[in-house]
Chain A
Amino acid sequence: MSNVKAIFSHFDGLIDAIADLKSEGYTDFAVTAPLPRHEIEEVIYEGEPSPVRWFTLAGAVFGGIFGFTLCSITHLNWPMIIPAGKPLVSIPAFIVITFESTVLWGCMFTLIGLLYHCRLPAKDMDPELEDPRLSDDVFGMVVRNLDHATANEIKSKLDGHGAIETSITGVGLA
Chain B
Amino acid sequence: MEYPDNNAEAMVDTELSYRQVTTDVLEPLFKFGKAYWAGLGLVLVGLAYGGFCIIQQLVWGLGVAGYSQPVFWGLYITTFVFWVGIGHAGTLISAVLFLFRSKWRTGVYRAAEAMTIFAVMTAALFPALHVGRMWNAYWLFPYPNQRQLWQNFKSPLMWDVFAVSTYFTVSTIFFYIGLIPDFAAIRDRTRGAISKVYASLAIGWRGTDRQWRHYMAAYGFFAAFATPLVLSVHSVVSWDFAMAQTAGWHSTLFPPYFVAGAIFSGCAMVITLLMPLSVIFKWDAYINEWHFEHLAKMCLLTGGILTYAYLMEHFIAWYSDNPYEWGIFAYRAVGDYWWVFWIMVICNCVIPLVWWWKKARTNYWCLWIVSIFINIGMWFERFNIIASSLAHQFDPAAWTYYLPNYIEIGVLIFSFAWFFLWFLLFVKVMPSVAIAEVKELLPPPLRTDAKEAAK
Question: B448 → chain A, closest Cβ, in Å?
Answer: 6
Known contacts A53-B217, A74-B142, A111-B177; A97/B153 CB under 8 A: yes
Q: Which residue in A32, A101, A125 is a CB contact (below 8 Å) of B209?
A: A32
Alpha-carbon gap, A167 to B380, bound state (A): 65
B210 near A162: Cβ-Cβ < 8 Å: no
Is A157 positioned at the interface, with any CB of B under 8 Å from its CB?
no
Main secondary structure of the interface of A (DSSP, over half): helix
What residue of chain A has the Cβ atom nearest to residue B190's Cβ?
Answer: A132
Query: Considering the complex, which residues of chain B in the window 181-222 have a beta carbon less than 8 Å from any beta carbon of chain A?
Result: 181, 184-185, 187-189, 203-218, 221-222
How many A-B Cβ pairs are below 8 Å? 196
B244 proximity list for chain A (CB < 8 A):
none
Find chain B residues with CB under 8 A from A45 CB.
Answer: 209, 213
* Inter-chain contact B208/A100, CB cutoff 8 Å: no
B221-A30 in contact (CB<8A): no
CA distance A128 to B230 in the complex (A): 42
B225 at the interface (CB under 8 A from A): yes
Q: Given A49-B217, A52-B221, A125-B206: A97 and B158 within 8 A (CB)? A: yes
Listed residue (B212, B218, B239, B450) with the most chain A CB atoms within 10 angstroms of its CB: B218
For residue B173, CB closer than 8 A to chain A, the reply is: yes
Whole-angstrom distance between the alpha carbons of A56 and B153 in the complex? 26
Whether A110 contacts B150 by the Cβ 8 Å rule is: no
Nearest A residue to B18 via CB reads: A137
Q: Is the CB of A36 within 8 A of B436?
A: yes
Inter-chain contact B213/A41, CB cutoff 8 Å: yes
- The answer to whether B209 touches A31, judged by C-beta atoms less than 8 angstroms apart, is yes
A104-B169, A118-B210, A136-B22 known; A113-B218 Cβ under 8 A? yes
- B437 cross-chain contacts in A, Cβ below 8 A: 35
Contact of A50 among B153, B163, B217, B222 (CB under 8 A): B217
Interface centre among B17, B162, B213, B221 (most CB of A within 10 A): B221
The answer to whether B17 touches A137 (Cβ under 8 A) is yes
Main secondary structure of the interface of B (DSSP, over half): helix
Please give me the residue from chain B that is nearest to A10 by CB atom. B447
Which residues in window 5-60 of B have CB below 8 A to A? 17-19, 22
The residue on B at minimum CB distance from A70 is: B142
Output the least CB separation between A73 and chain B (Å). Answer: 9
A129 contacts B208, CB within 8 Å? Answer: yes
Chain A CB within 8 A of B397 CB = no
Interface residues on A, range: 35 or more
Q: Contact partner of A52 among B18, B208, B212, B214, CB < 8 A?
A: B214
Q: Is B209's CB under 8 angstroms from A30's CB?
A: yes
The number of chain B residues touching the other chain, given as a range, is: 35 or more
Q: Which residues of the partner chain B approach A74 to less than 8 Å between Cβ atoms?
A: 142, 150-151, 153
B318 at the interface (CB under 8 A from A): no
A35 and B436 contact, Cβ closer than 8 Å, known pairs A30-B208, A96-B159, A100-B162: yes
Asked whether any CB of chain B lies closer than 8 Å to the CB of A149, the reply is no
Q: Is A12 interfacial (CB 8 A cutoff)?
A: yes
Contact pattern, A 30-58, Cβ under 8 Å of B = 1, otherwise 0:
11111111111101110001101100100
Return chain A residues, CB-CB under 8 Å to B149: 78
Q: For A114, give its contact among B150, B177, B444 (CB under 8 Å).
A: B177
With most chain B CB atoms within 10 A of its CB, the pick from A10, A103, A129 is A103
Q: Which residues of A contact B218 (CB under 8 A)?
A: 50, 52, 56, 110-111, 113-114
Q: Is A174 an interface residue when CB atoms closer than 8 A count as contact? A: no
Interface residues of B in 217-254 (CB under 8 A from A): 217-218, 221-222, 225, 228-229, 232, 236, 239
Q: How far is the CA of A123 from the CA of B204 in the complex (A)?
A: 6
**B455 on the A face (CB < 8 A):** no
Flag if B209 contacts A12 (CB, 8 Å). Answer: no
The answer, yes or no, to whether A122 is at the interface (CB within 8 Å) is: yes
Q: Which residues of B contact A71 (CB under 8 A)?
A: 153
Partner of A10, one of B181, B188, B216, B445: B445
Within 8 A of B (CB), among A134-151: 134-137
Contact indicator A136/B19 (Cβ below 8 Å): yes
In the complex, besides A113-B214, A114-B218, A123-B204, 6 extra interface pairs with C-beta distance below 8 angstroms are A11-B446, A34-B185, A106-B221, A119-B204, A134-B207, A135-B184
8 A-B Cβ contacts within 8 A? A10-B446, A11-B3, A12-B3, A37-B444, A39-B1, A41-B209, A101-B166, A110-B222
